[in-house]
Amino acid sequence: MKAPRWLLLATIVPVLWGVWGSLLEIPEKWANPTFPSTLGYTVWSFTMVLVGLVALRNLRWKLELDGRSILYGLAVGLSGAAGQLLLFWALTQGPAYIIFPIICLSPVVTIILSATLLKERTHTLATLGIILSLFAIFFLSLQESENSPVHGFSWLIIAVGIFFMWGVQAYFMKSSAVSISAEGLFVYMAAAAVLLCPIALLMTNFSERINWGLSGMYLSGFLQLLNSIGALLLIYAIRWGKAIIVVPIVNGLFPLITIAISLCIYHRVPSIYNLIGVLLAIVAILLMAFDEVKHTPTEATMPLSSH
């Protein structure tokens, strides 16, 4: 039996994001010379524009331009882009296998906002997931000894900030569903990414050597394109299938793939505390996802916008 298109895309997205998340450290931290994370953000914003043109084509080049759509689009776009800008900096300070599990717990913020602002009920499994996520962040922040490759806590503070930003972004995505198309939302996300480019460029120290070669700018561009394509494919997977099924698959697989690839490539074995944190984060994500599946009414499959 042929697998449905939405299931195929829902398994491709975490692979794309897992490769992106685990290899992103190479041009920005391990290449010699490095390719600054701020320039990595700039490259990402332009890959978003390229993929955004594909989304705009699916709208027959008719972007929603009413005030409500623009407001929601910029709210989603700016919260996501600001988090992305901070992510590039955080990965220069801390390891991907710890940062990404923290960020993937952002549904905690979405659930809390939905419960308080949209008056949605928070059920037992989601509540347990929230509690476990707090313990996960605590264990992920612990550094076992002075020989640990992880030093300082600035990366942790930034990771928690991204955790909040992306949780807010998901809330706006949810509350804007009846106001703007998924493709239109992606186009505004791309526009917001470009808007923050001047900030990234101002933060760049152009007096230092910059890797404009294959292991720097070009590798960064390839990885950022994987990220942007994954974002668009996620939108399509949700439209062809059901969001309550697609999102748990992506959120469950993405951190696992990132962690596995990071540990294999960099040969880092996390401390027992960090390993406990990773496992707690994964369990928390799955609990919140399963709670969403269990208590969300079944929705009819939404067709992709016609070409």
- Answering whether pTM is above 0.95, one says no
Q: Quote the distance between the C-alpha of residue 103 and its chain's center.
A: 7
pLDDT range class, residue 272, cuts 50, 70, 90? confident
Neighbour-count burial for 247-264, b at 16+ CB within 10 Å, e otherwise: bbbbbbbbbbbbbebbbe
- Mean pLDDT to the nearest integer, 22-49: 87
What is the per-residue pLDDT across 124-166, written as a single tens digit (0 to 9) for each? 776 787 677 677 766 765 655 444 455 556 778 888 888 888 8
Identity of the residue numbered 42: T
Q: Concatenated DSSP letters for the chain?
A: -PPPHHHHHHHHHHHHHHHHHHHTHIIIIISSS---HHHHHHHHHHHHHHHHHHHHHHTTT----SHHHHHHHHHHHHHHHHHHHHHHHHTTTS-HHHHHHHHTTTHHHHHHHHHHHS-PPP-HHHHHHHHHHHHHHHHHH----TT-S---SHHHHHHHHHHHHHHHHHHHHHHTTTTS-HHHHHHHHHHHHHHTHHHHHHT--TTS----SIIIIIHHHHHHHHHHHHHHHHHHHHHHS-HHHHHHHHHHHHHHHHHHHHHHHH-PPPPHHHHHHHHHHHHHHHHHHHHHHHHSPP-PPPPPPP-
Mean pLDDT of the chain: 78
Which residues make Cβ contacts (< 8 Å) with residue 225, sequence separation at least 6? 47, 50, 51
- Between CA 129 and CA 101 the distance in angstroms is 13
Answer yes or no: are the C-beta atoms of 102 and 137 closer than 8 Å: yes
pLDDT range class, residue 241, cuts 50, 70, 90? low
pLDDT at 32 over 80: yes
What is the per-residue pLDDT across 213-240, written as a single tens digit (0 to 9) for each? 998 999 999 999 999 999 888 877 766 7
Answer yes or no: are the C-beta atoms of 129 and 108 closer than 8 Å: yes
What is the per-residue pLDDT across 107-118, written as a single tens digit (0 to 9) for each? 677 777 777 776
pLDDT range class, residue 303, cuts 50, 70, 90? very low
pLDDT at 299 over 60: no
- Predicted pLDDT of residue 276: 82
Answer yes or no: are the C-beta atoms of 35 and 211 closer than 8 Å: yes
What is the per-residue pLDDT across 152-210, written as a single tens digit (0 to 9) for each? 567 788 888 888 888 887 778 777 767 888 889 899 999 999 999 999 899 888 888 99
